[in-house]
Amino acid sequence: PQVDISADNSKVTAKLPTGDSVEVLLYGATVISWKSSGQENLWLSQKAVLDGSKAVRGGIPIVFPVFGPPPQNHATSSLPQHGFARSTRWEYLGKSTSESGALSRGGDDSVKLDFGLSQSQLSPESRKAWPYDFSLVYSVTLGKDGLQTMLNVRNEGRESFEFQMLLHSYFAVKVAYRGRWAAADGVEQNISRVSISGLAGTSYIDKVLDATEHSSSSPTLSITGETDRVYKSLKQDTTSILQDDKPHLDVVRDNLTDTVVWNPWKEKAKAMGDFAPDEGYKNMVCVEVGSVDGWQKLEGGDTFEGGQLVKSHI
Ligand code: TA6
């Protein structure tokens, strides 16, 4: 495996002998690219701001310590939506690689990149807004199974705190055709051929329908309009993105119980200044694993770890 840090020290890139690669901005420890079998699996807005002045519109932003607009009368009340992790510069802590054995011809090469964020790296306003002594280690591992991203949260203080976390993954929607991304049959390659499975048998909060609670009975969810659902306490650990009813990406939760499915659709996409092209909502879907229903409580000195393994079927 090969690991490079950009000349301006803003981005770390890792590449495997297979050609698979991952790119991580130190800003927000935001994964902005994950390529496997020569294809980009993540969606990144053409107007995504990548200079560290605003959370990235695309890739995998990290949501911590609060998901969504923070509640009133809570320790997170004065934090911005989705917390500070995605809009603070993390430290690159280093890499660990495993070389494949001569016989496996690169089959089990893998590379793990570690990033750190602790209270001392926060802006004064973030530290004031959420005055807890914490440290995060975010591990991004690229291997033959896919991309694993794990967040380790540690309470470095004596006072307990509560938090939510979520990986706000923007996945690219295309239809593979004999290994190539093409308009296989002239039909537009987009969200109309996508469905999401693995969400049945639980309840979800529908934020498009005024955050009302619904039961989720159908085995798959098609995206036919603005979609913003928080599926809670899912029993099984995998949410899959199907294209033409065939599994394309599996998003496997690790020690997390909730999955959010989001597509802004036409109007909301147009209304976001950093969302481009306007039609881009047809080529992306967010499947976001997290612990966002209620709060995780962490006692002083304790740690929590949760994340995802994303596997591509291409
Ligand atoms: O994950 C879905 C969501 O909470 C939506 O409600 C929408 O707000 C989206 O996140 C994007 O939020 P952002 O703060 O990145 O514009």
58-86: average pLDDT: 98
Spatial distance between the Cα atoms of 81 and 161, rounded to a whole number of angstroms: 18
What percent of the chain shows pLDDT beyond 90? 85
Indicate the pLDDT class of residue 270, thresholds 50, 70 and 90: very high
pLDDT of 286 higher than 70: yes
Task: Give residue for tokens 């109309």.
Answer: 192
Indicate the pLDDT class of residue 175, thresholds 50, 70 and 90: low
Distance in Å, CA 67 to ligand 1 centroid: 9
Q: Which domains does the chain have, with CATH numbers?
A: 4-312 (2.70.98.10)
Burial of 178 (0-12, 13-18, 19+ CB in 10 A): exposed
263-289: average pLDDT: 96
Q: What is the predicted pLDDT for the residue at 190?
A: 85
Q: Active site includes 168? A: yes
Instruction: Report the residue among 30, 196, 226, 262 best suited for mutation to probe ligand 1: largest number of ligand atoms under 8 A from its CB.
Output: 262
Residue 21: Cβ within 10 Å count: 19
Distance in Å, CA 174 to ligand 1 centroid: 22
The pLDDT tens digits for 139-151 are 999 999 999 999 9
Q: Helices (DSSP H) in 93-184: which residue ranges?
A: 124-129
Ligand 1: which residues within 6 Å by Cβ? 55, 68, 81-82, 168, 207, 228, 260, 262, 286, 288
Q: DSSP characters for 281-304?
A: GGGEEEEEEEEEEEEEEE-TT-EE
Dihedral sign for Cα atoms in the order 214, 219, 225, 228 = positive
pLDDT of 310 higher than 80: yes
- Among residues 159, 168, 214, 313, which one is catalytic? 168
Q: Tell me how far CA of residue 182 lies from CA of 20, 39, 250, 273, 314, in angstroms.
A: 20, 12, 21, 28, 14
pLDDT of 186 higher than 80: no
Q: Most distant CA pair in the chain: distance in Å?
A: 61
pLDDT of 105 higher than 60: no
114-130: average pLDDT: 97
The pLDDT tens digits for 10-42 are 999 999 999 999 999 999 999 999 999 989 999
Look at residue 250 and give its three-state secondary structure: strand
Cα angle for residues 195, 191, 15 (degrees, 5° grid): 90
Q: What is the predicted pLDDT for the residue at 219?
A: 85
127-144: average pLDDT: 97
To 10 degrees, the CA torsion angle through 6, 8, 12, 13?
A: -30
Q: Which residue, by CA, sits nearest to atom 1 of ligand 1?
A: 262
Q: Rounded mean pLDDT of the chain? A: 93
Categorise residue 199: left if φ over 0, alpha if ψ from -120 to 50, beta otherwise. Answer: alpha
Q: Which residue, by CA, sits nearest to atom 14 of ligand 1?
A: 81
Q: What is the predicted pLDDT for the residue at 177?
A: 45
Spatial distance between the Cα atoms of 227 and 299, rounded to a whole number of angstroms: 36
CA contacts within 13 A on the Cβ side of 160:
8
Spatial distance between the Cα atoms of 29 and 89, rounded to a whole number of angstroms: 7
Question: Which atom of ligand 1 lies nearest, measured to the CA of 288?
Answer: 1
Question: Which atom of ligand 1 lies nearest, measured to the CA of 61?
Answer: 15
252-261: average pLDDT: 98
Q: Which residue, by CA, sits nearest to atom 9 of ligand 1?
A: 262
pLDDT of 183 higher than 70: no
The pLDDT tens digits for 189-232 are 689 889 999 998 889 999 999 999 999 888 899 999 999 999 99
Q: What is the predicted pLDDT for the residue at 99?
A: 78
165-173: average pLDDT: 97
- What element of type H or E holds 268? helix 265-271
Q: Active site includes 74? A: no
108-126: average pLDDT: 96
- Among residues 23, 82, 248, 288, which one is catalytic? 288
pLDDT of 273 higher than 70: yes
